[in-house]
Structure 1
């Protein structure tokens, strides 16, 4: 037989989770109103239409019950990280590249092509190779 105290604890945690989600929803809605009116928000460097799109996407994820999980590793994003940037899609661990790996560009943007060194350009011109 299930322990009634354990069920009660689960319900308390669930109620706290729902309250936090509502707090984040209010925060997102406030930021969306500010972004649409042109006021600068205190959360993140997003500006203009991109900022509105990011916030609307976060609200849509919330409606689909996909809000708060990392798009890269699927783990839950801690509440304090979401409070700092409620529109975010990745956890801190996935947002920071490992040492020696370049930081990712903006979403959907291809990484920059490496520039050829003078030595590589000279070698390719001798062999007739093109970049």
Structure 2
């Protein structure tokens, strides 16, 4: 049987959820800014000192930075749609600790093929 909770406890839970979403949105915005800066740096030849030399961007660095930007933008879009925080494969809720570590993840550990080693 489902637990019946008071409106006050439901409102408190809603406030906590909103605070967590705000925290994660801020993390996503910060990481998007950093990823876009990294993409700009990876896409353009730049001078490195010492010695003075021009470094040509590697295709892999550009691909990685582009992939990061796309993943973060997709997470922000999912947040705007109200789908953020669930696995795109099995629709399970993603643990808050996982989202704090990598707020752009879209798969739960099981669907991502991650295994935990137990002590």
TM over 0.5: yes
For residues 28-67 of structure 1, what are the structure 2 equivalents within 5 Å? 28-38=28-38, 47-67=64-84
TM-score w.r.t. structure 2 length?
0.69
1:53, CA displacement in angstroms?
0.6
Structure 1 residue aligned with 2:86: 69
Distance 1:28 1:80 in 2: 14
Distance in 1 of aligned mates of 2:109 and 2:15: 26
Residue 22 in structure 1 maps to residue 22 in structure 2: yes
Distance across 1 between alignment mates of 2:75 and 2:111: 18
Please, which runs of 5 or more residues in structure 1 have no aligned partner?
Answer: 40-45, 99-131
Of structures 1 and 2, the larger Rg is shown by: 1
* Segments ≥4 residues shifted beyond 4 Å: none
Shift of 1:47: 2.7
Summarize the alignment of residues 104-123 of structure 1 with structure 2, pairs less than 5 Å apart: none
Describe the shift of the 1:60–1:73 C-alpha distance in structure 2 as closer, same or farther (beyond 3 A). Answer: same
- Structure 2 stretches lacking a partner, 5+ long: 40-62
> Which residue matches 1:96?
113
How far apart are the structure 1 equivalents of 2:98 and 2:7? 28
Q: How many residues are paired up?
A: 89
What RMSD in Å do the two structures reach over aligned CA positions? Answer: 2.2
Which structure is higher in strand share?
2
Match of 1:81 among 88, 94, 98: 98
